[in-house]
Chains A and B, each alone.
Chain A
């Protein structure tokens, strides 16, 4: 296992609600990235946090927001949930050294919006 833990593992929400997903990074890793993986597709980059600051963002609307805490754990918040937000949300931690480093993924949170 990678040492990256996510909670909860599964979640069902109603359209219009808000959700918070959590990620604990691997020990020593100061960078956390969030990905959305729809069924049958590859992970899509949402954003990344490095030392508590957002460090890059993909093509996701502002209702997707995040935080990183001093212990490098992170949260992903999604407001005004839509049916298309149903997906596996993956958190990956890393300790980048000039950009060449592997990402250690958590097991993901399966979000279903009904």
Chain B
């Protein structure tokens, strides 16, 4: 079955440093979403990417969808303590297939 892996599993950064998490799917995706889960909380939607090679920005966050639609990345510039949490990518295999396959997640901690 479809597998979605993320690296790294954990990332500790000094406040102000940049952070990147990478997401790789075993199969081609129709679209990919990114979620953030704070400690003790639930996943919160960040963004959806649909097109091959798509790049989207949200303030300090930059999201990319690979040309082959099998990988994606999330980059945070100048991290802040509010960025703490686990970042998950989640992919859909086919249009109309509502099953979201979540990645393994990258847990970000910030050193003040």
Residue of B nearest to A104 (CB): B45
Question: B52: CB under 8 A from chain A?
Answer: no
Residue of A nearest to B88 (CB): A42
Question: B44: CB under 8 A from chain A?
Answer: yes
Do residues A48 and B99 form an inter-chain contact, with CB atoms below 8 A? yes
Do residues A90 and B88 form an inter-chain contact, with CB atoms below 8 A? no
Q: How large is the interface on B (under 10, 10 to 19, 20 to 34, 35 or more residues)?
A: 20 to 34
Given contacts A42-B88, A42-B105, A43-B102, contact A99 B97 (CB under 8 A): yes
B-side contacts of A42, CB under 8 Å:
4, 88, 90, 102-105
Interface of chain B, main secondary structure: loop
Residues facing A in B1-16 (CB within 8 A) are 1, 4
Q: State the CA gap A41–B42 with chains docked (Å).
A: 13
Q: State the CA gap A50–B101 with chains docked (Å).
A: 18
Which residue from A45, A100, A104, A107 sits with its C-beta under 8 Å from B99?
A45
List chain B positions with a Cβ less than 8 A from chain A. 1, 4, 30-31, 33, 41-45, 48, 50, 88, 90, 92, 94-105
List chain A positions with a Cβ less than 8 A from chain B. 2, 31, 33, 35, 41-45, 48, 50, 55-56, 58-59, 90, 92, 94, 96, 98-108
Among all A-B residue pairs, the 9 with the closest Cβ atoms:
A42-B102, A102-B45, A105-B42, A99-B95, A99-B96, A43-B102, A45-B99, A105-B43, A42-B105
